[in-house]
């Protein structure tokens, strides 16, 4: 039996994979050496929230719902309880035990938790169409989104994240192990990536230098700003007292004693790439480890190709930024509101 995340991804790509056999993108083919086939599988078009996070669309039981596309979340597909309540879809619960080494467990101990799930008559995202499926449910703090698609789906193959151009593309290269895969920019730099070899966590990490000190980083398409836990930032010489630091409102759900500090950082490098004039948000995040999260503000300045096939991440500065129109997301109304329409 194929695991749920794998089955969903296979369904997402099946149609596009067949189409790609007959049609190869000539712009890509011209930049690659003989014998290297990028194997372009699918393109996921994106729109934007008001704070410039990318969104897509899924359909639940015939109703379109906004999708949060999140490379920083480990789970493949998660549904928003508020959305399901508005659609009249029942949510069921059970208990499960989470091991200390589970990436979703911040405590370091065995954790018994309640797990909610919902059975859908039909669900579609991109080219994937599933019937009679069951997915996990969470009560999202941000009810703008009805579904979250995470790394368990997005990082099954190579992925190009092009927020400047308004899309995400999926690839399955063949014969390209040592070739440069950032086809749009021969000068793009590449750095080694790592992930959990036991596949308990599908997210990838890579090293970033801040002031000559190394910290691990991951990419987050669903986070408006790039951030670091305050404890990790202090090791790198960054704090609320750093030059130019300004105080911002706390995160939703946090009290006024837990402010966010925006700190200008000039000495960031990723391999041979120097990141200039960049702001990091410092936050009080317990159990978050020492990981820098590079959010949508970073991804609107740099196009990224995550080469799962090579254990590499390619990064390329966007030299001519496009004017991207800020958007809005229509939140699904309550049953009463829908009946009045």
Would you place residue 286 in the very low, low, confident or very high pLDDT band (cuts 50, 70, 90)? low
Instruction: Supply the range of the domain harboring residue 150.
Output: 4-154
Residue 289 has pLDDT above 90, yes or no: no
Tell me, yes or no, whether 41 and 98 share the same domain. yes
Q: What is the mean pLDDT of residues 39-68?
A: 91
Q: Characterise 132 by phi-psi region: left (phi > 0), alpha (psi -120 to 50), beta (else).
A: left
Q: Which position has the token pair 């938790």?
A: 113
Q: Is 1 exposed, middle or buried (0-12, 13-18, 19+ CB in 10 A)?
A: exposed
DSSP state of 280: E
Cα(31)–Cα(29) distance, rounded to whole angstroms? 6
Angle at 111 between CA 110 and CA 116, to 5 degrees: 145
Mean pLDDT of 222-245: 91
Strand ranges for 75-220 from DSSP E: 77-80, 92-98, 111-125, 128-138, 147-149, 158-162, 167-171, 189-194, 205-210, 213-219
What is the pLDDT at residue 107? 74
Assess if residue 324 is contained within a domain.
no
Query: Same domain, yes or no, for 273 and 138?
Result: no
Same structural domain, 147 and 203: no
CA separation for the pair 19, 42 (Å, rounded): 9
107 and 100 in contact (C-beta within 8 Å)? yes
Region 308-316: what's the mean pLDDT?
A: 96
33 confidence band (pLDDT: 50, 70, 90): confident
Which tokens go with 173? 């290269």
Q: What percent of the chain has pLDDT over 90?
A: 56
* 172 belongs to a structural domain: no
pLDDT for 113 beyond 80:
no
Pairing of strands 302-307, 312-317: antiparallel
Q: Is the pLDDT of residue 65 over 80?
A: yes
Higher pLDDT, 140 or 323: 140
How far apart, in whole angstroms, are the C-alpha atoms of residue 307 and residue 249? 36
Q: Which of 98, 119, 154 is the last residue of a domain?
A: 154
Q: What is the pTM for the complete model shown?
A: 0.83
CB 208 within 8 A of CB 217: yes
Residue 337 has pLDDT above 80, yes or no: no
Looking up tokens 């799962």, which residue turns up?
308
What's the CA gap between 267 and 212, in Å, rounded? 8
Backbone angles phi, psi at 114, to 5 degrees: -85, 130
pLDDT at 17: 41
Q: Confidence class of residue 324 from pLDDT cuts 50, 70 and 90?
A: low
Instruction: Write the CATH number for 269.
Output: 2.40.70.10
- The verdict on 146 and 8 lying in the same domain is yes
Q: How confident is the model at residue 19 (pLDDT cuts 50, 70, 90)?
A: very low
DSSP 53-99: -EEEEEEETTEEEEEEE-TT--SSEEEEHHHHHHHT---EEEEEEE-
* pLDDT at position 125 over 80: yes
Give the pLDDT mean for 28-48.
Answer: 83
Mean pLDDT, the chain, integer: 84
The reply to whether 166 falls in a domain is: no
Residue 31 has pLDDT above 90, yes or no: no
Say yes or no to pLDDT of 263 above 90: yes
Claim to verify: residue 71 and residue 211 sit in the same structural domain: no
Asked whether residue 149 falls in the same domain as residue 183, the answer is no
pLDDT for 119 equals 96
Mean local confidence (pLDDT), 151-162: 94
pLDDT band, residue 98 (cuts 50/70/90): confident
pLDDT at position 44: 92
Q: Per-residue pLDDT averaged across 228-254, rounded?
A: 87
**Angstrom distance (rounded) from CA 182 to CA 304:** 8
- Overall domain count for the chain: 2
The yes-or-no verdict on residue 26 having pLDDT over 70 is no
**In Å, what is the CA distance from 6 to each residue of 37, 139, 157?**
23, 24, 11
Structural domain includes residue 214: yes
Question: What's residue 11's pLDDT?
Answer: 59
What dihedral angle (degrees, nearest 10) is formed by the CA atoms of 298, 208, 68, 260? -80
Instruction: Note whether residue 168 is domain-resident.
Output: no
Over residues 295-317, the mean pLDDT reads 96
Based on the fold, state whether residues 129 and 188 are members of the same structural domain: no
């Amino acid at each position: 039996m194929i695991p749920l995340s794998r089955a969903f991804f296979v369904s997402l790509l099946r149609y596009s994979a067949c189409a790609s056999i007959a049609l190869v993108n000539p712009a890509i083919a011209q930049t690659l050496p003989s014998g290297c086939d990028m194997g372009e599988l699918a393109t996921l078009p994106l729109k934007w929230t008001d704070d410039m996070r990318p969104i897509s669309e899924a359909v639940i039981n015939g109703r379109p719902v906004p999708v949060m596309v999140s490379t920083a979340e480990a789970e493949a597909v998660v549904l928003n309880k508020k959305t399901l309540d508005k659609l009249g879809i029942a949510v069921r619960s059970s208990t499960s035990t989470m091991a200390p080494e589970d990436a979703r467990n911040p405590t370091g101990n065995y954790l018994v938790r309640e797990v909610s799930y919902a059975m859908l008559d039909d669900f579609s995202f991109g080219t994937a169409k599933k019937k009679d499926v069951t997915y996990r449910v969470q009560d999202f703090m941000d009810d703008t989104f009805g579904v979250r698609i995470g790394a368990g789906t997005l990082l099954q193959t190579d992925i190009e994240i092009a927020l400047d151009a308004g899309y995400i593309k999926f690839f399955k290269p063949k014969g390209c192990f040592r070739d440069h895969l950032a086809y749009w920019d021969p000068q793009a730099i590449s750095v080694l990536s790592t992930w959990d070899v036991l596949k308990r966590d599908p997210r990838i990490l890579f090293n970033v230098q801040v002031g000559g000190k190394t910290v691990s980083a991951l990419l987050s398409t669903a986070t408006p700003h790039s951030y670091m836990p305050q404890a990790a930032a202090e090791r790198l010489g960054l704090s609320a007292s750093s030059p130019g630091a300004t105080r911002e409102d706390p995160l939703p759900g946090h009290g006024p004693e837990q402010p966010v500090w925006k700190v200008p950082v000039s000495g960031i490098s990723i391999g041979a790439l120097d990141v200039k004039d960049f702001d990091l948000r410092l936050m009080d995040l317990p159990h978050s480890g020492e990981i820098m999260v590079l959010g949508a503000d970073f991804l609107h300045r740099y196009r990224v190709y995550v080469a799962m096939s090579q254990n590499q991440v390619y990064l390329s500065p966007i030299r001519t930024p496009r004017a991207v129109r800020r958007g809005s997301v229509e939140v699904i109304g309550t049953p009463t509101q829908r009946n009045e329409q």
